[in-house]
Amino acid sequence: MDCLFCKIIAGDIPSKKAYEDADMLAFYDIAPQAKVHILVIPKEHIPSMDGVNADNAAVVAKIFAKIPEIAREAGITNGYRVVSNCGDDACQSVKHLHFHILGGEQLTERMA
């Protein structure tokens, strides 16, 4: 499959890993938009938040259960933002479900 994040999971494209287990990978964004900017992705290819359903939602729950630890381990101590861009209007550029963890500094109030 011609998917950038599937290639990162496979190790065909290098990444700076923050966390990995059998179901998910967390790695540092190549173009950080905050002092700490990590992407968390399921290893299963789900195209976007719009592709989440009752059959695959367990991995999303696992990701959300792990995000606080990933943020802590990355040195975030004073809060963070979790974002998932879904579809064209949200400017999703990689069509593999991912959650941005943004933190390590004061973020702006504006979200859109």
At closest approach, how far in Å is the CB of 4 from ligand AMP?
6
| Catalytic hit among 37, 45, 96, 98 | 98
* Contact between 15 and ligand AMP per CB under 6 A: yes
Active site residue 98: yes
CA distance from start to end of the chain: 31
Q: Contact with ligand AMP (CB under 6 A): which of 17, 23, 30, 79?
A: 30
* Contact between 53 and ligand AMP per CB under 6 A: no
Query: Which residues share a beta bridge with 82?
Result: 101
State CA 105 to chain mean position distance: 18
CA distances from residue 47 to 10, 43, 51, 52, 75 in whole angstroms, order as listed: 17, 11, 6, 9, 29
Q: Contact with ligand AMP (CB under 6 A): which of 22, 54, 61, 91?
A: 91
Binding positions for ligand AMP, rule: CB under 6 A = 4, 13, 15, 29-31, 39, 85, 91-94
Catalytic residues: 98
